Structure 1
Amino acid sequence: MNLTVKTYPNNTVPKLNYDVLIENQPDGGVSATVLGLPDFKSSGVTKEEALEKLIQLLQERKPEIVTLEIQPPKTEHPWMKFAGMFKDDPQFDEVLAYIEADRRELDAQMEEYYRQLDAEDEAK
């Protein structure tokens, strides 16, 4: 399995956008929680105060988000081990001829069936 970690130098770190859940508390205060990161939670008297405290918390802890590119291991298709296994079999051409004849017979039966259906539709 190949693993690639993308990181950014400190001077080119892209801005991070966080989705924040704002909740009014029963005591009249407001809490702010970064969605998906429950450790990043703050509270305040107002929404603005709770968000300001949350921003300070994020800046203090300096979280780093990296992007992982993981390539799954390459595996052979399960049917590939059977591909070409009969290429040197002397009876293989016979089997193919039998399959073709059977297919033609089934196709002829279906054609007849469709003709009967068409005839029934015309009779109605």
Structure 2
Amino acid sequence: MALNVNVTQSQPAINPKVTLLVETLKNGGFAASIFEFPNFRVEATTKEEAIAQLQATFLERVSHIEAISWDAPLSVPPSTWMQFAGIFQNDPDFQEIMDKIRAERTSDDETEVDPSYYL
């Protein structure tokens, strides 16, 4: 069985923004990481040094990475729940039921709530 693979090279974003996380360690040092790339983490004695090391490490590593977009040829049927999409569109009682549910959700009436549950 042959598998057709459609691979296209994507264009890198110009100046992508990432979120740097700086943590003060118990030993007085600092750890810096990138929220969007949790595998990038460095430790240093000062906050500034940690940030500089992280930035240098990140830039060095991404200079060797190529972003590739791939359209995976999956032959899996849609999720089972999709077979039920729209089944109530012609049901005359559906809107009434939905209105009752919405009214219960937005009601300030808490008489059915057992306060001991929250103790």
The structure with the largest helix share of the pair is 1
> Whose radius of gyration is greater, 1 or 2?
1
The alignment's TM-score, normalised by the length of structure 1, stands at 0.43
